[in-house]
Amino acid sequence: MTLAVVGASLAGLRAVESARRTGYPGRIVLIGAEEHLPYDRPPLSKAFLSPDGPRAVEPFLPAEELQELGVELLLGTRALSLDPVARLVDTAAGPVSYDTLVIATGATARVLPAAAGISGIHPLRTAEDAAAVRSALDSGARTVVIGAGFIGSEVASAARKRDLPVSIVESLDTPLVRAIGPEVGSVCAELHREAGTDLRLGTDVTGFEAENGAVTGVRLSTGEVLPADLVVTGIGAVPATGWLRDSGIPLHERDGGVICDATLAAAPGVYAAGDVAHVANSLFDGELMRLEHWTNAAEQGAAAARHALDPANAREFSAVPYFWSDWYAHRIQFVGTPRADEVVVTGPGCTALYRRGDRIVGAFTIDRPRDIMKYRKRIAARAPWREAVAFATEMAA
Strands 71-74 and 225-227: unpaired
In tens, the pLDDT along 350-381 reads 899 999 999 999 999 999 998 999 999 999 99
> What domains can be seen in the chain, in order of their start residue?
2-108+237-313 (3.50.50.60), 111-233 (3.50.50.60), 329-396 (3.30.390.30)
pLDDT surpassing 90 at residue 347? no
Instruction: Report pLDDT for 55.
Output: 83
Instruction: In whole angstroms, give the CA distance from residue 15 to residue 34.
Output: 18
pLDDT of 397 above 80: no
- The percent of residues in the chain predicted with pLDDT above 90, rounded, is 92
CA 95 to chain centre: 29
Cβ(203)–Cβ(222) under 8 Å?
Answer: yes
Q: Give the per-residue pLDDT at 362.
A: 97
| Amino acid 348: pLDDT | 66
CA nearest to 331, candidates 345, 318, 350: 350
pLDDT of residue 77: 98
Name the amino acid, one letter, at 30.
L
Give dist(CA 135, CA 118) in Å, integer: 17
Minimum mean pLDDT among 35-49, 252-266, 342-356: which range? 342-356
Q: What is the pLDDT of residue 346?
A: 84
Q: What is the pLDDT of residue 53?
A: 86
pLDDT at 16: 97
Mean pLDDT, rounded, for 243-266: 96
